[in-house]
Structure 1
Amino acid sequence: MKNIPTDSLRTLVTVVEVGGFAKAGELLGLSQPAVSLQIKRLEELLGRKLFKKQGQRQILNHQGEQLLPLAKQMLKDNDAILQLFSNETITGKVRLGIPSEFAASILPAIIGDFVSLYPDVSLEVKSELSKQLMHVSNRDEFDLVLTLVEQLDNPHYPSFLQDDLVWVGNTPAKLTEPVTLVVAPQGCIYRRRAIEALEQAGVSWRIVYTNADLTGLTAAIKEQLGVTVLARKTVPEELPYTANSDVLPALGQVGISLIKRGQESLQAIDKLAEFITLRLS
């Protein structure tokens, strides 16, 4: 019976998350040839190629896409087992910045699980719009920033995950009057993408409600004040959504990036970054 080495799986996942062999090597403390060798050995073990060339980049092929979620699950289980039986204590304080919609939807469960596994790590979480989280004035405020990126192949902020943008709320069956929008303030990626898509499609619109907090937007949508745009993963369970409306234009995708601030490589920061990327993916 063959066994798959977890270091090869971790290398595969890292290459995909950071968007390249060289960057993965920097993160893992390996040379680029060493990263390539680990991927080659994994391909030989499985008897399948996992990457294909797209321009100057190597991206996952169909077999690689099939392997990726299984590899992430194996790494998650591996790390959970090691943590359960390890005498090593991870301590420290991590300042995490996250978009407000993530703070209200999917992050609480992830953060709760992390705190249960690493009770000696103190987390300080602050939620704002991605634009504010990334503003130069906040550069020293966070150790990690989870942020939305519109450019999916951004070399400075590589996406470890891409998600569909969807219309949230009761979408109209036909357009007899302007689309009413409930949105976050200026600077919000969702707001900008909604307006750009509507204007490019020649659909009139008007903003009837503005709130930076997802809870406030959710309440407005429940009252049927209008529709909004969110990444599919962040849509509250109680709200209807659609990515393929007959009357509203397609919105495309958005990237999700996890950015480490500063040069420090504290174990608590690295562990939280790995935990979030594995769980969100």
Structure 2
Amino acid sequence: MSVKQLSLDNLRTFVNIIELGSFVKAGDALGRSQPAISLQMKKLEGQLGRKLFSKVGQSYQSNKDGDYLYQQAKQMLAINDDIFTTLSTQQTLRGRLRLGIPSEFASTLLPSIIGEFSQRYPDVSLDVTSSLSRQLLDKSLRKDFDLILALSDEAFEKDAEVLLEDDLVWVGDNSRKLNKNTLPLVLAPEGCVYRSRVIKQLKQQTHAWKITYTNADLYGLMAAIKQGLGITALAKSSLPAELDIVKDSRLPSLGKIKICLFNKDTQHPQVSKTLSEYIRARIK
């Protein structure tokens, strides 16, 4: 029985077409002619037995099958690239990297990253600071970090890589009943992106609410929630296993939040690039 195998080269061309918006731009980026790009796509469609594009006016756009392949192809290419990056840099990475990360991601994301990364690259020293995103991104403090993972509620910043546009959700302990008269809130201090969004949305409706507890640390907020002091808001991808998504007719939609990566490291760019790939693979 013959085994079918997709060409990673064809998949990389396909992903470039989707992300750049045309065969011509993909060809320019890859240094190939448009006929060569078209031939690659014909081979890919022939191998899959599916059309991947639909003609819209004078341009081609991915169809349902193309959208599915795009997501799968990105994962395959990421694994391929990670293998080469890891095996080519595993023995050579060394240096010190200063990472800034929001406290909620420090508790859910950091343990898996630090453990695996530090084991694989023992000669890299990680200096991690956990704080509110707004403090990490303060212009006077950014110079203190090589790599920053942060939440952004502002317009897109030119030096930011948006890893995920995540749902902002209400979080609490579903074993605790919410006060029927006044919504109790446990929030981080002023300057927190979550706090600003929560207050802005609640002010647009008529239900009563009050802040019952304030703490900048996620573990402090979790303890307050477990004691029945109220509910809070978090990016869905940072939801701790100990907490639940809360549904209540009085709770307005909080919309989405951008999770961004800011890479400022110029002293150890390969270290920063490799850690960025670790973070990127785990933010989903």
2:258 to 255, 258, 261: 255
Number of residue pairs aligned between Structure 1 and Structure 2:
265
Shift of 1:251: 0.7
CA change 1:152–1:71 in 2 (3 A) is farther
Q: Counterpart in 1 of 2:29?
A: 34
1:140 to 134, 143, 158: 143
Q: Counterpart in 1 of 2:243?
A: 239
Question: Do the aligned residues in 2 keep the contact of 1:11 with 1:35 (CA within 8 Å)?
Answer: no
- Name which of structure 1's ranges 96-105 and 198-207 shifts more when overlaid on structure 2: 198-207
Q: Give the letter aligned to residue 80 of structure 2.
A: N
Question: Do the aligned residues in 1 keep the contact of 2:103 with 2:132 (CA within 8 Å)?
Answer: yes
Shift of 1:7: 9.4
Percent of aligned pairs sharing the same letter: 39
Larger Rg: 2
Shift of 1:176: 3.6
In the TM superposition, what are the counterparts of 1:177-256 in structure 2 within 5 Å? 177-242=181-246, 245-256=248-259
CA change 1:152–1:95 in 2 (3 A) is same
CA change 1:32–1:137 in 2 (3 A) is farther
- Name which of structure 1's ranges 193-202 and 125-134 shifts more when overlaid on structure 2: 193-202
- Name which of structure 1's ranges 73-82 and 94-103 shifts more when overlaid on structure 2: 73-82
Provide TM-score, normalisation by structure 2: 0.77
Q: Give CA-to-partner distance per residue, 1:157-188, whole Å, 9 cap, x none.
A: 34121111111114787874221110000010
Unaligned runs of 5+ in 1: 23-29
Q: Give CA-to-partner distance per residue, 1:105-125, whole Å, 9 cap, x none.
A: 122112222222222221111
Q: Give CA-to-partner distance per residue, 1:93-145, whole Å, 9 cap, x none.
A: 11110011100112211222222222222111111000000001112101111
1:114 aligns with 2:109: no
1:267 aligns with 2:270: yes
Q: Counterpart in 1 of 2:48?
A: none
Provide TM-score, normalisation by structure 1: 0.78
Please state whether the residue corresponding to 1:119 is helix, strand or coil: coil
Q: Counterpart in 1 of 2:92?
A: 89
CA change 1:223–1:7 in 2 (3 A) is farther
1:38 & 1:66 partners in 2: Cα distance?
Answer: 26
CA change 1:109–1:51 in 2 (3 A) is farther
1:36 & 1:64 partners in 2: Cα distance?
Answer: 23
Shift of 1:204: 2.1
Question: Do the aligned residues in 2 keep the contact of 1:174 with 1:247 (CA within 8 Å)?
Answer: no
1:66 aligns with 2:61: no
CA change 1:65–1:127 in 2 (3 A) is farther
Unaligned runs of 5+ in 2: 46-50
Shift of 1:43: 4.8
Question: Do the aligned residues in 1 keep the contact of 2:186 with 2:211 (CA within 8 Å)?
Answer: yes
